[in-house]
Structure 1
């Protein structure tokens, strides 16, 4: 028995390179989300959407994506926590806009 967290025969450098590649792809996807939201705010001339986009941009830029956070739960994929935060912000924004549209009628 071994206490290693990786399967036998795997290369830790390859695993690290895969994680870095994943973090890079996530960051590129975030940039595309920002760009799409900014274009949509401009096309719709919606100040609320523009303010939400700038707020989302501020949240996403302040969260660490390459180092991750240590969690007390023992999660080894600490880089996933900032992505969950960004997803929660987008979900809350979508819910807020849906509620606002319902109120307008």
Structure 2
């Protein structure tokens, strides 16, 4: 990145405009959006086989099934801090290479917080339903939205909102809003395909596959934009 000298006796409005343009250019040069999306997408796809083979599913003669997703829990607790540490590392490395400062720390902190929120919410829900039977009538829709929000893919959307704010990145903000809409309102995060061990595992894997692919495609798109800008 190169800068031009600014005459001190210039028009104040012109100086202010040039300073704003320079600040915007620095913010753009600091962006490593595609790296964050790539790492998050890869972590999501890697969780699928762990969730598949680590899921304990028991089906009775009547066709009713119970399952516990212990594999996903044990995967994401260490995976979350490692994922956000990797993203912070790549951001800081790129910032040093360009001679710029980095503002990725609040993002990394938010990612670390999700490491606490996810298992805490999981434990709270598990404890509740151990002492309160699941009601026969459908649960309220807001409950499903909240349940999806505290899942890892929902937490990814929350951290992307923080990253969009840090980067002042309107494109990332627009993507994240669409991503959260997909995760919270559209994807079938349940086991409603049909009864059976394979069906339940597939019903849990397909939404994660969609999320991972969406993140990787977004990473490819932001990388192309960065290449054209460079």
Give yes or no for TM over 0.5.
Answer: yes
1:16 aligns with 2:62: no
1:65 aligns with 2:186: no
Is the 8 Å Cα contact of residues 65 and 79 (structure 1) preserved in structure 2? yes
Q: Secondary structure at the match of 1:16?
A: strand
CA distance, structure 1, for counterparts of residue 70 and residue 188 of structure 2: 13
Is the 8 Å Cα contact of residues 64 and 82 (structure 1) preserved in structure 2? yes
Pair member with larger Rg: 2
Root-mean-square deviation (Å): 3.1
Q: Secondary structure at the match of 2:217?
A: helix
Deviates more, 1:15-24 or 1:53-62: 15-24
State the shift of 1:69 in Å: 3.9
Q: 1 or 2, which has the higher helix percentage?
A: 2
- Residue 103 of structure 1 aligns with which residue? 228
Aligned pairs, number: 91
Is the 8 Å Cα contact of residues 38 and 53 (structure 1) preserved in structure 2? yes
- Residue 80 of structure 1 aligns with which residue? 205
Gap runs ≥5 in structure 1: 1-9
TM-score (norm 2): 0.34
TM-score (norm 1): 0.70
CA distance, structure 1, for counterparts of residue 154 and residue 210 of structure 2: 16
Q: 1:69 to 1:85 in 2, by over 3 A?
A: farther
Is the 8 Å Cα contact of residues 57 and 67 (structure 2) preserved in structure 1? no
State the shift of 1:20 in Å: 8.5
- Residue 177 of structure 2 aligns with which residue? 54
State the shift of 1:21 in Å: 8.5
CA distance, structure 2, for counterparts of residue 100 and residue 90 of structure 1: 15
Is the 8 Å Cα contact of residues 41 and 50 (structure 1) preserved in structure 2? yes
Runs of 4+ in 1 over 2 A off after TM superposition: 19-25, 67-70
Higher relative contact order (CA 8 A, sep 6+): 2
